[in-house]
Chain A
Amino acid sequence: MTQIRRLVLDVLKPREPEMIEFTEEISEMECVDGINSSLIEVDEKVRNVKVTVEGEIDEQKIRDKIEDIGASIHSIDEVAAGEKLVEESKTLQD
Chain B
Amino acid sequence: MILEKFRELKKTWNKDEVKSISRRYFISNGFDGTLTAVGITVGSYLSGVSTGATVFKVAAGAAVGLATSGVWSVWEIEKAEKLAQLHDLEENMLKELEGTEIHQIKKQGRVVNAVASGAGPVLGVLLTASPFLLEGILLNMFQSTAASVLMAVGLLFGFGVYMADISEQNWLKAGLRMGLAGLVVAALNILLPG
Contact = CB atoms under 8 A, between A and B. Distances in A.
B102 interface: yes
Contacts of B100: 67-70
Contacts, number: 35
Interface in B15-37: 15
Interface string A34-70: 0000000001011000000000000000000001111
A12 B89 CA distance: 12
Interface residues of A, number: 13
Contacts of A70: 89, 93, 97, 100-103
Interface in A4-25: 12, 14, 16-17
B88 interface: yes
B183 interface: no
B92 A43 contact: yes
B95 interface: yes
Interface in B62-91: 88-89
B164 to A, nearest CB: 28
Contacts of A68: 100-101
B94 to A, nearest CB: 8
B136 to A, nearest CB: 54
Nearest to B91: A45
Interface string B92-114: 11110100111101000000000
5 contacts: A12-B93, A16-B15, A16-B102, A69-B102, A70-B101
Interface of B: 15, 88-89, 92-95, 97, 100-103, 105
Interface of A: 12, 14, 16-17, 43, 45-46, 67-72
Q: Please provide the 10 A-B residue pairs with the shortest distance between their CB atoms, ordered closest to farther.
A: A70-B102, A70-B100, A45-B92, A46-B92, A69-B101, A70-B97, A72-B95, A14-B89, A14-B102, A70-B101
